[in-house]
């Protein structure tokens, strides 16, 4: 996806959003990630502001046809709420809910310098910030966009139900009986939460930025919910963190962070749920490809070879339970 075809619409939008006196010059654009759910660009802009000439960088985060079953509403509202309580997230500048400007909804935010390349130097600080997220007071009007679980038992079953509904809505052909059996096992063995907290939903290496040996921001908030913090810990250990540190290393670091041992049976349940997340969300790739919405070959690979491998992992994890 290139922004060149929509450059005039984008420049006019930026002029309104930045309250520029006259036109905004778009001096450069750079795609900074090949993420599945969003396309992200750094925009170098120059314009006449209220106090004189301005040159700055702005980040545009653009939806991709509902890929991975999410939109930006939850993400934008969550980031705005967290920014108000001084949690390290980029400041939202604007949110465009229509397709009029770039052909997809998108939002803009401040550019924050940093790198998402894994560095063991900042791992413990990141885990401390994730634990801090779990301690944020969500019972304020700023977090009213998040569905409140009606009980401690609700987050586990709600997560499974939501993921399977996304799967059924996007699967090409008949749903897999293996997936259906695993979903039933997860329902039968759902673990009540010990507490309800904010949950990032996609935490770990790649979804935070560090700069000069410190965490700069946490990013990618489209899956944030109110739920069981074990959801996040399991995702760090077995999903995003798995290529970088051994399982027991992650567990030891998390236990030091939270000041108590992790419940291994609860952790195993959320490991299975997070593998189910991969199984279900990957099928959104299949439908986009088959419907001709996005003919990118990587979508077909995700929906077939990658998907089947993750189904095998899900079955193996359920059988271990």
pLDDT digits (tens, 9 = 90+) for 106-129: 999 999 999 999 999 999 999 999
User: Is residue 115 in some structural domain?
Assistant: no
Give the pLDDT of residue 116. 94
E strand map for 50-140: 52-63, 92-96, 106-110
Q: What is the mean pLDDT of residues 298-302?
A: 86
Domain match, 276 and 159 both: yes
Domain match, 131 and 245 both: yes
For a pLDDT cut of 70, what percent of the chain falls above it?
A: 98
Give the pLDDT of residue 297. 86
Q: How far apart are CA 26 and CA 48, in angstroms?
A: 13
Name the pLDDT band for 167 (thresholds 50, 70, 90). very high
Q: How far apart are CA 79 and CA 73, in angstroms?
A: 10
Domain match, 248 and 315 both: yes
> pTM higher than 0.85, yes or no?
yes
Domain match, 146 and 240 both: yes
Domain match, 154 and 77 both: no
C-beta atoms surrounding 3 within 10 Å: 20
Residue 82, pLDDT above cutoff 60: yes
Domain match, 160 and 294 both: yes
Q: H-helix or E-strand containing 80?
A: helix 73-84
pLDDT digits (tens, 9 = 90+) for 19-30: 999 999 999 999
Structure tokens at 283: 């099928």
Q: How far apart are CA 88 and CA 86, in angstroms?
A: 6
Domain match, 146 and 40 both: no
Higher pLDDT pick, 5 / 294: 5
Domain match, 297 and 177 both: yes
Domain count, the chain: 2
Tokens 């929906």 correspond to what residue?
A: 303
Final residue of a structural domain among 87, 110, 133: 110
Domain match, 20 and 145 both: no
Cβ burial of 313 (10 Å; 0-12, 13-18, 19+) is middle
Domain match, 302 and 168 both: yes
Residue 249, pLDDT above cutoff 80: yes
pLDDT digits (tens, 9 = 90+) for 254-281: 999 999 999 999 999 999 999 999 999 9
User: Is residue 298 in some structural domain?
Assistant: yes
Domain match, 91 and 128 both: no
Give the pLDDT of residue 1. 59
Domain match, 238 and 132 both: yes
Domain limits at 271? 120-320
């Amino acid at each position: 996806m290139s922004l060149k075809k929509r450059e005039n619409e984008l420049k006019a939008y930026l002029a309104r959003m930045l309250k520029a006196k006259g036109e905004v010059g778009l001096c450069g654009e750079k795609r900074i990630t090949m993420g599945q759910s969003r396309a992200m660009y750094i925009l170098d802009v120059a314009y006449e502001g209220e106090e004189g000439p301005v040159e700055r960088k702005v980040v545009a985060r653009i939806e991709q046809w509902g890929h991975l079953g999410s939109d930006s509403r939850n993400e934008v509202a969550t980031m705005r709420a967290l920014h108000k309580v001084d949690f390290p997230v980029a400041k939202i500048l604007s949110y465009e809910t229509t397709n009029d400007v770039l052909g997809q909804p998108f939002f803009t935010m401040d550019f924050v310098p940093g790198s998402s390349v894994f560095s063991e130097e900042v791992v413990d600080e990141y885990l401390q910030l994730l634990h801090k997220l779990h301690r944020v007071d969500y019972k304020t009007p700023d977090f009213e966009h998040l569905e409140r679980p009606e009980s401690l038992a609700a987050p586990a079953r709600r997560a499974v139900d939501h993921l399977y509904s996304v799967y059924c809505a996007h699967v090409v052909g008949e749903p897999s009986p293996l997936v259906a059996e695993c979903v039933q096992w997860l329902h039968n063995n759902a673990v009540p939460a010990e507490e309800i907290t904010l949950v990032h939903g996609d935490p770990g290496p790649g979804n935070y930025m560090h700069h000069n040996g410190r965490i700069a921001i946490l990013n990618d908030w489209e899956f944030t919910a109110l739920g069981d913090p074990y959801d996040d810990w399991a995702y760090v250990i077995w999903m995003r963190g798995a290529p970088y540190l051994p399982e027991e290393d992650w567990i030891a670091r998390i236990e030091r962070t939270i000041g108590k041992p992790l419940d291994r049976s609860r952790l195993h349940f959320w490991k299975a749920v997070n593998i189910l997340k991969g199984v279900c969300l990957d099928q959104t790739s299949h439908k986009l490809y088959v419907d001709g919405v996005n003919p990118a070959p990587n979508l077909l690979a995700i929906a077939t070879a990658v998907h089947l491998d993750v189904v095998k992992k899900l079955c193996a994890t359920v059988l271990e339970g």
